[in-house]
Structure 1
């Protein structure tokens, strides 16, 4: 695997975890940028990063950098992605990769035109368990998949100033946790949904606090999703077919799947499959990103992110919920 020079934008909690993964896989981190000089110095010292920038633009312009990692609030992803791609850098951006489908389509086209890798940090797409689950489904062990159910609920403190509820920072459940649920659903649907039904409850700041979403594909597979930011739910996904169903708990970083085979209405057998380590979730992300760069393509990962982005934009359009920067 080629050793790459990574430049990180942002020093929040997920950047700390990513820095540890980068140091494990890549051996070092070339540079980090943050507008807060004190936090920047502390982060660089803890993660053994030599080069620091209080101006992300200057770091992106550094010709020695191969990959830009973006761990900022959602609103800054789109301009930084464009800037990095135009500077000839591969990009790994935390979810949601952009705040709407229009932005996504633009950066997807730009990455293709530049011959660069653009990847979204949807953790579940990189967990080894999903390869096993997809192989099992492809082998026909669940029969025809008819239904996917997904729950994700967080209990965030009631703080209108927090980024989770801040409309100016693209807050709300859909963009914060909905990407995981939508990625899970889309992974196990054979086609991009062409029908969506949804309803929403708003937080006082005007962002989505909780929602219910139903998706249907042209061949009539369905997915049902429940999202919330003020009511804890299990991170649980269920994939149901004509011969059985799979239950996956803590699905963004899942390592275990419980399978129930339903030979008929009265007979069931069960099986447990395991793969990977939850603590290595971001290690898998780094390994995949560096493999994508080495091989020159991303195994279809960005195409799935495209579908997720379009589903979420369609849902938000139905709500009539817009951000100042849409």
Structure 2
């Protein structure tokens, strides 16, 4: 622990889950900020947080806060993270990092100018089973990796007013769900060299289903499927010439996996033992980056430069499926 004092910006469901996991890990939550003072007070009382602020600006200006977790909807990430950086705070921004690559580049530039950490809260990258998966790949147990497939499919509300269906809030399968498998294939295979995307748009214009086929270095292929209207297996597979990794549902949360040789022999079984939801690992990684004097996060499982590049991949997917958010038009 580095003794960083956390501020939580917004008080919705994801902020609640994050605060609970920070408490699980014994980390210091110094303050919370909301647009509503009542909401901030209630959140502070629930998690025994010493200070509650009735505005995001007041939180950003709090001298007893070192790092801020931004938990607002997608279209607000850029503005809210900018506010924190301009007030000298390190920032952990809920995924997807921003609405587009241009916004992501702006945050990367501003953080570099300020000598501050800005980091995407892609918590899956920091879970113990993903750490072990990367070790297995680095050990060449799988041989040459030829393909990765993953889905993130849920049956979510179809109400046009619900956030998941509201284009004005960045709603749709891509930013809420697709970011997980797309970030995963980036993690395993690196940047795509070719992208093909198809989608079905809902009655609000938001993407209800998105599928991708991408080619990566050496000709490796990835496939992803994301849906907000159908509940699927939520599993993932990494296929190599010598072995494969089968990650059980729900693959992007603490779970189990098996390493199976090409002849069917079981090489390894991994089972997660995690307290809470597992969001504390990204917070610990952020604190570690600050402690090591690495504001660019080059030692992180997901450096900001990669988050920026992934937003570029999402931009290309949206271009192909004809998805534009109102704030961009």
Q: Which of the five TM-score ranges fits, normalised by the shorter chain?
A: over 0.9
Distance in 2 of aligned mates of 1:278 and 1:122: 18
Question: Secondary structure in 2 aligned to 1:277?
Answer: coil
Q: Which residue of 2 aligns with 1:269?
A: 265
Give the 3-state SS of the residue equivalent to 1:307 in structure 2: helix
- Alignment partner, residue 111 of structure 1: 111
> Shift of residue 57 of structure 1?
1.0
Match of residue 210 from structure 2: 211
CA distance in structure 2 between the aligned counterparts of 1:122 and 1:19, rounded to whole angstroms: 16
Please name the residue that 2:231 is paired with. 232
CA RMSD of aligned residues (A): 1.5
Q: Within 1, Cα distance between the matches of 2:126 and 2:78? A: 22
Q: How does 1:1-326 map to 2 (within 5 A)?
A: 1-189=1-189, 191-249=190-248, 250-262=250-262, 267-270=263-266, 271-277=268-274, 279-297=276-294, 298=297, 299-300=299-300, 301=302, 302-326=304-328
Give the 3-state SS of the residue equivalent to 2:91 in structure 1: strand
Does structure 2 retain, via aligned residues, the 8 Å contact 1:3–1:26? no
User: TM-score, structure 1 length as denominator?
Assistant: 0.94
TM-score (norm 2): 0.93
Q: Secondary structure at the match of 1:253?
A: coil
Unaligned runs of 5+ in 1: none
Question: How far 1:86 sits from its partner (Å)?
Answer: 1.6
* Structure-2 separation of matches of 1:41 and 1:30: 13
Find the aligned partners of 1:226 and 1:5 in 2 and give their Cα distance: 38
Q: CA deviation at 1:165?
A: 0.5
- Structure 2: runs of 5 or more not aligned: none
Are the counterparts in 1 of residues 157 and 164 from structure 2 also a CA contact under 8 Å? no
| Equivalent position SS for 1:159 | coil
Is this contact kept in 2: 1:117–1:296, CA < 8 A? no
Give the Å deviation of 1:278: 6.3
Residue 280 of structure 1 deviates from its aligned partner by 4.8
- Structure 1 residue runs of 4 or more that deviate by more than 6 Å after TM superposition: none
- Is the deviation greater in 118-127 or in 301-310? 301-310
Provide the C-alpha distance between the structure 2 equivalents of 1:56 and 1:131, rounded to a whole number of angstroms: 34
The number of aligned residues is 321
In structure 2, distance between residues paired with 1:132 and 1:25 = 20
